[in-house]
Copies of this chain bind each other. A is one copy, B any other.
Amino acid sequence: MSQAQDVVGLGNAIVDVIAHAEDAFLAAEGMAKGAMTLIEAERAETLYARMGPGVESSGGSAANTMAGIAALGGRAAFIGKVKDDQLGAIFAHDIRAAGVAFRTRPARGGAPTARCLIFVTPDAQRTMNTYLGASVELGPEDVDEALIAAAQVTYLEGYLWDRPRAKDAFRKAARIAHEAGRKVALTLSDPFCVERHRAEFQELVRGPVDILFANEAEIRALWQVRDFDAALSATRGLVQIAALTRSEKGSVVLSNGKTESVPAEPVQRVVDTTGAGDLFAAGFLHGLTQGRPPAEAARIGAIAAAEVIAHVGARPERPLKALVAERLG
């Protein structure tokens, strides 16, 4: 018998390969700066050959969020697919070592473990190129019913919508959570991801989603509006809680008819923005599942996000629990 989790996350199981690059390199490779682009095996190989020396670090959006929750002292589990190869072993080790329960069976054959080639430009912005590899093998059979039924929140990564079997896993998890009287949270993940799936994401937000995470570009893309306030209006009332992040402008939280603004946490030097949204979600979900009001949860999110953008890599390096205790006083 395992203990009930605060949050279970479903997402792509990815190892990040991080290198520094100049803006000119992004332009020459035709990359959309700041975005996540899906790439196939061949492009991954070509691009890797052109990439500078890298550092490998476990990633994946929902996986980063679960690692953040564990670092904050919460109980988190992750469902996602690696292959039984060396990168898969690294992913599995790192998420377990972070204190996250991870029991999804690795794929024995087929494509290798997913990797994301991340280029960090001198302005600390990250541009991602994801080869999904084995992570697309995640399917409904990997969704652990008992785990989800017992968790306070099931957190779903919008990126999962890019592949049909993962989408089925996503739907199954949401159904189980609701049948057990639990909450379903969704992150819109990326503006291009929203472009690809706008109609379905709108349906999700109007339907099964209780807690919505998005940044400014994503929520504007969802409703096809230019203005952040217009995006707020469009979102209001559709979900129980919406936590909308605006980088250094902080976040706006909609809940119970209230609109609250929460400032960003000051950062001495932004080194790499990879994982900022993921760690905001971690702090927010941890706050909520500990019974904190939404605005206070957003403050914890801001503290967690500030830690992760102060270093290279998308997972916390410092003990977040102590950091939050210190900052919240």
Quote the shortest CB–CB distance from A129 to chain B (angstroms): 15
- Identify which of B51, B56, B67, B85 contacts A56 (C-beta below 8 A): B56
Of residues 75 through 131 on chain A, the ones whose CB sits less than 8 Å from some CB of chain B are 85-87, 90, 93-95, 97-98, 112
- Identify which of B20, B49, B58, B98 contacts A317 (C-beta below 8 A): B20
Contact code string A2-44 (vs B, CB < 8 Å = 1, else 0): 0000000000000000011000000000000000000000000
Q: Which of chain B's residues have a CB closer than 8 A to the CB of A97?
A: 19, 51-54
Q: How far is the CA of A327 from the CA of B54 in the complex (A)?
A: 26
Q: Which of chain B's residues have a CB closer than 8 A to the CB of A294?
A: none
The reply to whether A94 and B20 form a contact with Cβ atoms under 8 Å apart is: no
The reply on A313 being an interface residue by CB < 8 A is yes
Q: Which of chain B's residues have a CB closer than 8 A to the CB of A87?
A: 86
Give the dominant DSSP class at A's interface: mixed
Copies of this chain assembled into the complex: 2
- Identify which of B49, B86, B94, B313 contacts A93 (C-beta below 8 A): B49
- Identify which of B55, B86, B317 contacts A86 (C-beta below 8 A): B86
* Chain A residues bordering chain B, tally (CB within 8 A): 26
Name the residue on B nearest A17 (C-beta): B90
Of residues 292 through 329 on chain A, the ones whose CB sits less than 8 Å from some CB of chain B are 313, 315, 317
The reply to whether B315 and A90 form a contact with Cβ atoms under 8 Å apart is: no
The reply to whether A54 and B90 form a contact with Cβ atoms under 8 Å apart is: yes
Given known A-B contacts A86-B87, A87-B86, A53 and B112 have beta carbons under 8 A apart = no
Q: How far is the CA of A51 from the CA of B96 in the complex (A)?
A: 10
Q: How far is the CA of A58 from the CA of B56 in the complex (A)?
A: 9
The reply on A48 being an interface residue by CB < 8 A is yes
Name the residue on B nearest A112 (C-beta): B86
Q: Which of chain B's residues have a CB closer than 8 A to the CB of A19?
A: 97
Q: Which of chain B's residues have a CB closer than 8 A to the CB of A54?
A: 90, 93-94, 97
The reply on A57 being an interface residue by CB < 8 A is yes
Name the residue on B nearest A88 (C-beta): B86
The reply to whether B86 and A53 form a contact with Cβ atoms under 8 Å apart is: no
Name the residue on B nearest A94 (C-beta): B53
Name the residue on B nearest A49 (C-beta): B93
Given known A-B contacts A85-B86, A93-B48, A56 and B55 have beta carbons under 8 A apart = yes
- Identify which of B20, B56, B93 contacts A90 (C-beta below 8 A): B56
Given known A-B contacts A49-B93, A85-B86, A93-B49, A57 and B56 have beta carbons under 8 A apart = yes
Q: Which of chain B's residues have a CB closer than 8 A to the CB of A57?
A: 55-56
Q: How far is the CA of A95 from the CA of B54 in the complex (A)?
A: 10
Q: Which of chain B's residues have a CB closer than 8 A to the CB of A49?
A: 93
> 14 interchain pairs (CB within 8 A)?
A19-B97, A20-B317, A51-B93, A51-B97, A53-B93, A53-B97, A53-B98, A53-B315, A54-B90, A55-B56, A56-B56, A56-B57, A86-B86, A86-B87
Instruction: List 5 extra interface pairs beyond A53-B67, A53-B94, A56-B56, CB under 8 A.
Output: A20-B317, A52-B97, A53-B93, A53-B98, A55-B313
